[in-house]
Structure 1
């Protein structure tokens, strides 16, 4: 019998519709897409305003989700999915883009403030806690003269696109390690790559 401790929700953040596909702000979608691809799963529409795929990692049931409200409203579908699947908050991993780390760096942590990310702020408010796991996918800072909004809603540069598959695989590896071996092991593998830990 599957218990709550055996179930995970991996929620990748992004904006729905084809207009935003492949943009930097949709890095969370890209990571869960990679996990679904690895495990031969396909996303389907869910009544809780999400697209969902279910996979198994190390004998544990994992729900992959892409909330289909805009990113700053991610909290409602994430909270609804936790309730529907009976998953505790400490088995929630949110995958999001992050301007505080350079492109090519990703970090895993539990808790913390939203640091200006409206998706994380929405989830904190909906869950009334920050005590969930976050995988932050570094984008770096916008170039001088470029606003944050236009930067995150733009496509990755051709140079970034060459590296992107490797980064997505590294993040997918970290998620699988998190589920099977715990946060400490996953952090040591993921946080040890790229720039110094912040």
Structure 2
């Protein structure tokens, strides 16, 4: 069994620790835990490792957030991985900080990275791990908010939340979507 784990984010130092890059941060921790590393390949930083006798492919698209679908589409086809074995890890302003949700499918909810994946990969029927970054921003300041770093009071919680998201991702790979949702979506 093969899986494609997609951490969404933007490349470049100016985006490194922003809310919008939580997908990259979780992917990095997943790869680190596996003792693997990244190579720079077509449209993505790419890593591959075995987890519980399954092959896990991890990408961090280098196309920038709004064109994430280009990388996801390419790697799904290149690796011949069906949509149900793809997990997209994404920031979500509709979920409070501290909450992480696994969903079997859903709308983009205005998220440009997800919109592009929907457009280029055939719709909304793909699993996603939604990491809550909260919505503590004034009306019309959403872009500034997601492209800013986490608040002082959020930073101490971040490592354990990233660890939790990694455990959810590993569970998705080892026991599947339904059991993982039952176990973690409380």
* TM-score interval (norm. to shorter): over 0.9
Q: Choose the corresponding residue for 1:27, options 22, 30, 33.
A: 22
Matching of residues 50-89 of structure 1 within 5 Å = 50-89=44-83
Q: Which runs of 5+ in 1 are unaligned?
A: 1-5, 193-198
Cα deviation, residue 143, structure 1: 2.9
Partner of 1:171: 165
**Aligned: 1:119 with 2:94:** no
**Hey, what's the Cα distance between the residues in 2 that align with 1:126 and 1:32?**
22
**Hey, what's the Cα distance between the residues in 2 that align with 1:75 and 1:136?**
17
Cα deviation, residue 102, structure 1: 0.3
**Hey, what's the Cα distance between the residues in 1 that align with 2:139 and 2:93?**
16
Partner of 1:154: 148
Cα deviation, residue 88, structure 1: 1.0
The question of whether the paired residues in 2 share the 8 Å contact of 1:44 and 1:52 is answered with: yes
Could you say if the C-alpha distance between residues 145 and 122 of structure 1 is closer, same or farther in structure 2, counting changes exceeding 3 Å?
A: closer
**Hey, what's the Cα distance between the residues in 1 that align with 2:140 and 2:111?**
18
Partner of 2:10: 15
**Hey, what's the Cα distance between the residues in 2 that align with 1:148 and 1:172?**
26
The question of whether the paired residues in 2 share the 8 Å contact of 1:170 and 1:190 is answered with: no
**Hey, what's the Cα distance between the residues in 1 that align with 2:92 and 2:139?**
19
**Hey, what's the Cα distance between the residues in 1 that align with 2:53 and 2:30?**
15
Could you say if the C-alpha distance between residues 35 and 146 of structure 1 is closer, same or farther in structure 2, counting changes exceeding 3 Å?
A: same
**Aligned: 1:110 with 2:100:** no
Alpha-carbon RMSD across the aligned residues, in angstroms, is 1.1
TM-score calculated relative to the size of structure 1: 0.91
Q: Secondary structure at the match of 2:48?
A: strand
* Total equivalences in the alignment: 186
> Which aligned segments of 4 or more residues in structure 1 are displaced greater than 4 angstroms?
none
More deviation in 125-134 or 183-192? 183-192
TM-score calculated relative to the size of structure 2: 0.97
